Chain A
Amino acid sequence: MIYVTPQQITFTDQLLLKSGAALSPVTVVYETYGKLNADKSNAILILHAFTGDAHAAFYHEGASKPGWWDDMIGPGKAFDTDKYFMICSNVLGSCKGTTGPSSIDLKTQKPFALHFPLITIQDMVALQKKLIDHLGIRKLLSVAGGSMGGMQAITWAVMYPDMVHSSIVIAACHGHTAQQIAFHEVGRQAVMADPDWQGGDYFGKALPGRGLAVARMIGHITYMSWISMEQKFGRKLQDKEKLGYDFSKDFEVESYLQYRGQSFVERFDANSYIYLTKAMDYFDLSEGKKLSEVFKGVTADLLVISFTSDWLYPSSQSQAMVRALKANDVDVSYLEIKTDYGHDAFLVEFDDQTRMISNYLTKVVRERVSRI
């Protein structure tokens, strides 16, 4: 068992946000795995998804479970910590240590709640850049992430082309579509319809747990696929031999969703939920331009991965990115991995992802770093 201790840094200068607002001070919680080499050329930044955190791999002291992508990060794994120095930081707006709406506003000495400025994927990346600068790393070997992490990975390649040799974009998109926004809006409305929401100012009081649980239940449905739900639950009954003909739990899938909703309330803040979903909904790299125009400055080598049964971030969105990158002569590789696990596949399908990513990183090192 390898242990890791979270670290943190507070930046006191202003972080200028895409909205025009500014934020300071900003604290970032991060973890690192493996060793940074002498010329600092082996650093890879891992970008977590919506409700993830900086704890991507290894174990915290006394914990029974490792980090969320431990199957992918470690000695001999896809992101081989014997070769690479891995960094993962919690995103801006989250509730897992980095500054977010549940952090204390120094002006009022109370949690920001809805006084926290609206944030974007670009703002998350801008803060990550500050961290990378702070660590003295001029150019990352790679940035990699799935889902919201993938949105950050492609954004890194667009915003800071001189700072990334490669970018690994998994189960992501270049901009949220109406359907993606719609699911998030239902989640936000569920949170805000909870009487305990209280305009976001619930700190020290009852949490808007019912609303947040419903939001998470909806989210979970979108992360699975029709077939994975059929295989996992089908019409199986929960603690029952026959239908109850009442509104208590009949089906296993009901019980599962309720359990996942409830356990989510214990680990995630409702304000962060609505801020981060909004950040994803605001995400649109093209902003009215042609995507191929947006990717003009991209110099990184790109690896794009999508999953056949992912209907939340369907392959067509990844393919649109690949096409626009190709139109700009970017070195891009793309694979659609066959799986029944839906959007969640990036947290489940380790064999195929490992085979792609470990070999891809070897290629990037050979082509981009050894030449420098």
Chain B
Amino acid sequence: MIRLDYEIIADIIEPGAKVLDLGCGDGELLSLLKMKKNCRATGIEIAAEQIFKCIERGVSVAQGNIDSDLDVYEDKRFDYVILNESLQQVVNIEKVLNAALRVGKKVVVGIPNFCHFRARLQIFFLGKVPVTKSLPYKWYNTPNLRFLSLDDFREFCSEKNISIEKACYLAAGKKVSVLPDLFADSGLFVLHHA
């Protein structure tokens, strides 16, 4: 079973595109893009264990930091830069996103929705920082540095003059079309500089 977000990203990206995945994890998405879409795909990942897995899958990956490693690339070197479930772990969001928009013609961003209705209910009724299936961490062990809602992200893009070409909202392996800000676990956005 392919993860729905991977499937949607693979559908968005044109065959043969040049793709850079920032925070590519175990390389599953890159491998899918290589096999299904014949993409020239490469990744940056910080965790050594994930690098081994990428190489096992036959994906090129360089250990590095997405905060600082994009400087080497020329403008618009990639057709797509992917930041799927990695942006919320970045210190300097604006710098990374700008760098991604510089080296990529388009940027695909996937973010978790911290303001899912279950999270809202937990805050309101339990008075606790929410722990949900898609956000399973406690406040003291979360790898996430940024806590944002889908609306926060759209607002950020509009303030920073970043065009959202396409948006897609997901929950429990399905697309969400009704009130995504409440019911979606995550959102996928295709961006480019306005």
**Are the CB atoms of B73 and A333 closer together than 8 Å?**
no
B121 contacts the other chain (CB 8 A): no
**Chain A CB within 8 A of B58 CB:** yes
Contacts of A327 in B (CB 8 A): 72-74
Q: Chain A, 312-327, contact with B by CB distance < 8 Å: what is the 0/1 string?
A: 0000000100111011
Let me know if B48 and A362 touch, CB within 8 A: no
Q: A326-B72, A327-B74 are in contact. Are A335 and B58 (CB under 8 A)?
A: no
A331 CB within 8 Å of chain B: yes
Chain A CB within 10 A, most for which of B58, B60, B69, B73 = B60
Out of A337, A338, A366, which one reaches B58, CB within 8 Å? A366
Determine how close the nearest CB of chain A comes to the CB of B79; give it in whole angstroms: 13
Q: Which of A319, A338, A359 contacts B55 (CB 8 A)?
A: A359
Chain A, 341-372, CB within 8 A of any chain B CB: 352, 355-356, 359-360, 362-363, 366-367
Q: Does B7 contact A (CB under 8 A)?
A: no
Indicate the member of B62, B64, B69 with the most A CB atoms within 10 Å: B62
Q: Is the CB of B60 within 8 A of A333?
A: yes
A301 at the interface (CB under 8 A from B): yes
**A355 and B52 form a contact (CB under 8 A):** yes
Chain B residue at smallest Cβ distance from A328: B72
What chain B residues lie within 8 Å of A359 (beta carbons)? 52, 55-56, 58
A332 within 8 A of B: yes
Is A334 among interface residues, defined by CB-CB distance under 8 A?
Answer: yes
Instruction: Decide yes or no: A336 and B60 within 8 Å by CB, A323-B72, A359-B55, A360-B55 being known contacts.
Output: no
In the complex, the answer to whether A333 meets B61 with C-beta atoms within 8 Å is yes
Closest-by-CB residue of B relative to A357 is B55
User: What string of 1s and 0s marks CB contacts (under 8 Å) between B61-77 and chain A?
Assistant: 11110000100111001
Number of A-B residue pairs at CB separation under 8 A = 55
- The size bracket of the interface on B is 10 to 19
A63 to chain B, nearest CB (A): 34
Residues of B within 8 A of A292 (CB): 72
Assess whether B58 is in contact with A363, with CB atoms less than 8 Å apart: yes
**Could you tell me the distance between the alpha carbons of A332 and B63 in the complex, rounded to whole angstroms?**
10
Bits for B84-101, please: 1 = Cβ < 8 Å to A, else 0. 000000000000000000
Q: How far is the CB of A157 from chain B (nearest CB, A)?
A: 15
- Chain A 91-124, CB within 8 Å of chain B: the 1/0 string? 0000000000000000000000000000000000
* Among candidates B59, B63, B72, residue contacting A334 with C-beta atoms closer than 8 Å: B63
Give the chain A neighbours of B64 by CB distance below 8 A: 319, 322, 334
B contact residues around A355 at 8 Å (CB): 52, 55-56
Q: In the complex the two chains form, is A336's CB within 8 Å of B58's CB?
A: no
How far, in Å, is B186 (CB) from chain A's closest CB? 29
B60 touches A338 (CB 8 A): no
**A335 to B73, Cβ gap below 8 A?**
no
Within 8 A of A (CB), among B35-64: 42, 48, 51-52, 54-56, 58-64
CB distance from A365 to the nearest CB of B (A): 10
Interface digits, A36-67 against B, CB 8 Å rule (1 contact, 0 not)? 00000000000000000000000000000000
Provide the residues of chain A in CB contact with B62, threshold 8 Å: 322, 326, 332-334
Are B63 and A331 in touch, CB under 8 angstroms?
no
A295–B56 Cα distance when bound, in Å, is 26
Of A324, A326, A331, A360, most B-chain CB atoms within 10 Å: A326
Q: Closest Cβ of chain B: how far from A154's Cβ, in Å?
A: 15
Evaluate contact between B48 and A338: CB separation under 8 angstroms. yes
In the docked arrangement, what's the CA distance between A360 and B58, Å? 7
Q: Provide the bound-state CA to CA distance between A352 and B49, in Å.
A: 10
Report chain A residues within 8 Å CB of B74: 327
CB–CB B60/A335 < 8 A: no
Give the CA-CA distance A322 to B69 in the complex, in Å: 10
- Pairs A-B, 10 closest by C-beta atoms: A363-B58, A334-B62, A323-B72, A359-B55, A327-B72, A359-B56, A331-B60, A335-B51, A333-B60, A326-B72
Which residues from chain B sit less than 8 Å from chain A, CB to CB? Answer: 42, 48, 51-52, 54-56, 58-64, 69, 72-74, 77
Apart from A332-B62, A334-B63, A335-B48: 12 A-B pairs, beta carbons within 8 A: A322-B64, A324-B72, A331-B42, A334-B64, A335-B52, A335-B55, A337-B48, A338-B48, A355-B55, A356-B55, A362-B58, A366-B58
Q: List 20 A-B contacts (CB under 8 A).
A: A292-B72, A301-B60, A324-B72, A327-B72, A327-B73, A327-B74, A331-B42, A332-B62, A334-B63, A335-B48, A337-B48, A338-B48, A355-B55, A355-B56, A359-B52, A359-B55, A359-B56, A360-B55, A363-B55, A366-B58
